């Protein structure tokens, strides 16, 4: 699950809240990429097994840069959903480069990571999240803040 699982995701969300509390001028946007890149049936049970790898470090880059090509690499049989996600995710990055904010027309809202601990789920669907959603997230934040190297808001 990218950034070290939900503990790592919470560290990054807290960083956004910390930056906001300290008066940082720029906005912070956090994401978790969880879409499984396509695989071939013969990958199951091997080192390329998608259920073992899940979404691995940098697997979002094909989508970020909309660089999916039919048959390239041969190990990735891209599906229509992959092309749709690449179009939308690359739109977020283009908006961010252009304006400092990933949000734009036709895209689900990507909340800022500030005092509201916002983040974006980039998976089979795109969904923004704000606030601490339930007791589990509250506990993860509490455990995260037990680490003395994590600054307090």
**SS3 assignment for the chain:** CCCCHHHHHHHHHHHHHHHHHCCCCCCCCCEEECCCCCCCHHHCCCCCCHHHHCCCCCCCHHHHCCCCECCECCCCCCCHHHHHHHHHHHHHHHHHHHHCCCCCCCCCCCCCCCCCCCEEEECCCEEEECCCCHHHHHHHHHHHHCCCCCCCC
Per cent of the chain over pLDDT 90 is 74
Check residue 74 and give its pLDDT: 85
- 87: tokens are 């179009």
State the first-to-last Cα distance of the chain, in angstroms, to the nearest integer: 26
Q: 16-28, pLDDT tens digit by residue?
A: 999 999 999 999 9
Q: 76-89, pLDDT tens digit by residue?
A: 999 999 999 999 99
Average pLDDT over residues 88-101: 98
Q: 114-142, pLDDT tens digit by residue?
A: 999 999 999 999 999 999 999 999 998 99
Per cent of the chain over pLDDT 70 is 95
Tell me if residue 69 falls in helix, strand or coil. Answer: strand
Q: Is the pLDDT of residue 70 over 60?
A: yes
Check residue 72 and give its pLDDT: 87
Whether the CB-CB separation of 119 and 15 falls below 8 Å is answered with no
Whether the CB-CB separation of 102 and 2 falls below 8 Å is answered with no
């Amino acid at each position: 699950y990218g950034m070290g699982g939900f503990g790592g995701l919470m560290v990054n969300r807290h960083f956004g809240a910390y930056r906001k509390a300290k008066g940082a001028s720029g906005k912070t946007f956090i994401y978790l990429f969880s879409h499984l890149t396509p695989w071939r049936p013969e990958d199951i049970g091997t080192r390329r097994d998608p259920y073992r790898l899940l979404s691995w470090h940098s697997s979002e880059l094909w989508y970020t840069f909309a660089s999916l090509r039919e048959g390239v690499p041969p190990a990735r049989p891209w599906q229509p959903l992959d092309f749709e996600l690449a179009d939308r995710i690359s739109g977020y990055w283009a908006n961010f480069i252009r304006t400092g904010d990933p949000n734009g027309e036709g895209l689900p809202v990507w909340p800022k990571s500030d005092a509201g601990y916002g983040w974006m789920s980039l998976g089979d669907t795109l969904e923004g999240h704000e606030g601490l959603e339930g007791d589990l997230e509250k506990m993860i934040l509490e455990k995260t803040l037990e680490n003395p190297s994590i600054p307090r808001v």
